[in-house]
Amino acid sequence: MWWGQGNLEVVSSKRLYRVLELPKQLQVSILALLKLGSSSATDVSAVTGKARALESSYLNQLVTLKLVCKEPRVTPLHRGKSIVVFSVVLEALDW
């Protein structure tokens, strides 16, 4: 297992190799998403230090690769507005 406690305990060595096959910018994004769990592009950009629009683009590339799924959620923090939440599909990292 890898990277201490929390959500990242589910990352096996096979999954780590799959992540390492990705381009560097996508590696950073998927590792931040693994650390956070399900979260928005804004939350991921706060961890990576990249602009939210750029992070959203990277996360959408991961969605295209079917490594990440996205779904709209209505949260009380956003006054009932729908936000897009991304989460890693762990089974897709297995090969």
pLDDT of residue 4: 39
Model confidence pLDDT, tens digit, residues 12-40:
778 888 899 999 999 999 999 999 999 99
DSSP state letters, the chain = --SSSGGGGG--HHHHHHHHTS-HHHHHHHHHHHHH-SB-HHHHHHHH-S-HHHHHHHHHHHHHTTSEEEEEEE-GGGTT-EEEEEEE-GGGG--
pLDDT of residue 3: 39
Output the average pLDDT for the chain: 85
Query: Does residue 1 register a pLDDT over 60?
Result: no
Model confidence pLDDT, tens digit, residues 44-83:
999 999 999 999 999 999 999 999 999 998 877 767 788 8
Please give the single-letter amino acid code of residue 6.
Answer: G
